[in-house]
Chains A and B, each alone.
Chain A
Amino acid sequence: MTMKTDADGHEEFVNLFEKGLSFTKEILAENERLRFRMATLEAEVELARRQSGTAGPAGDPLVDSLRRQLAELEAERTRLLSSFREVETLNRDYQQRYSEIENEHNNLAHLYIASYQLHSTLSFREVVQVVSEIVINLIGVARFALYLFDGKSELLEPIAAEGVELSALRPIDLKDPIVGKAARTKERYLRDAAAPATGPVAVVPLATLESLVGAIVIDKLLVQKAELSPVDFELFNLLGVHAATALSSALLREQTGPEGQSLHLSRARALLA
């Protein structure tokens, strides 16, 4: 079985995007061709009209021929106008689709990069750094804190923050009505847009299937970011699981000391047996 590399996935994105672009360009070229054909026909119709106006009386073979030609040209013009409108509608649809695909492409890139970076290291410090970068740079957050859950004290302990001094933050009890509740229930909290702007904007619980790992508490978005977008919610979903596993793995690896720094094949086999 061949594994898809990052470069393959990347190329697929680009190819999909290029196909959409190429198709839209074709539609635009067809549109342009029809416009030109219509302009030519209109000129021909106008000429035929003038010629029939200056031609002899009815029954004159030349007049009859020109009238027939005029009628044919009018019919052709009507048909082309109809086609032109269809192509214009199609064109608008494709432009809309193109824009949607571009947006989707951008969103997928954000998710791909977030996932890639989270699992690119087993250094706990670096994983925390990556989580912070995703929250700050991909979501667009001005103030947030990352908490780890301490199973002994049952408290969420702050370990990293941006926009606020870490020393100013206090541990949060699971009984806390917003952050604690989100962590306890493993359900994301989002402040109602209509609610007063107090308390966190969002709380993202970090949890594996087995246990609670921590939480990301977002207090303020960047000034230019009016609200959270659909891709931000996807990033929350991704962080909820992937940041939790990345933080847990890195912490466990660091805790095992030099023994844990290399993979043990026999242990791996035993676990799979």
Chain B
Amino acid sequence: MADTQLHALVVEDSPTMRQLIVFALSRVKALKVVEADDGVDALKKLSQQHFDVLITDINMPMMDGLKLVSMVRKDEVHKDIPIIIITTEGAQEDRQRALSLGANAYITKPIQAPQVISKVKELLKLT
């Protein structure tokens, strides 16, 4: 039987935000979610398994979301993974920078579950 399970990596240093995103994604049945605290932790997890979508905050300690997007896009194995960034409406420069570095979409705070689900489904082409 073909493996239809998809994997999402949620990179967020705030436990509150991370729990909110994971909670939202739990409603996408095809998706299994793995969490990372920051960019460094995310790269470690990316080296351990395949992910179908990456959702990352921008402002994080150790390695921020912009650096993570840049590194993922330069990586031969993960360069095509769809990336969603989480940003605030006011942080337009960061958002533009992330998109120019190769992020596919963005979600603005305060995030709402339907918004997260819709973006992920759109990028994963799930109905």
Q: Are B88 and A138 within 8 A (Cβ)?
A: no
A137 touches B26 (CB 8 A): no
- One digit per residue, 1 when the CB lies within 8 angstroms of any chain A CB and 0 when it does not, for chain B 77-92 equals 0000000000011100
Chain A, residue nearest B113 (CB): A106
- Complex contact B89–A222 (CB within 8 A): yes
Contact of B15 with A10 in the complex, beta carbons under 8 Å = no
Q: Which residues of B contact A10 (CB under 8 A)?
A: 23, 26
CB of A102 closer than 8 Å to a CB of B: yes
Q: Which partner residue on chain A sits nearest B26 by CB separation?
A: A14
Tell me how far the C-beta of A129 lies from the nearest C-beta in chain B, rounded to whole angstroms.
8
Report whether A222 and B114 are in contact in the complex, using a CB–CB cutoff of 8 Å.
no
The complex places the Cα of A139 from the Cα of B19 at a distance, in Å, of 15
Contact A133 B16 (CB under 8 A): yes
Interface size on B, residues (CB 8 A): 20
Chain A residues with CB under 8 Å of B89's CB are 222-224
| A113, B113: Cβ atoms closer than 8 Å | no
Nearest B residue to A138 via CB reads B110
B24 / chain A contacts, CB cutoff of 8 Å:
109
> Within the complex, which residue of A106, A114, A224 is in contact with B114, where a contact is CB–CB below 8 Å?
A106
Taking a contact as CB atoms closer than 8 A, the residue among B20, B27, B90 that contacts A17 in the complex is B27
A-to-B contact residues, CB < 8 Å: 10, 14, 17, 102, 105-106, 109-110, 112-114, 116-117, 120, 130, 133-134, 136-140, 142, 222-225
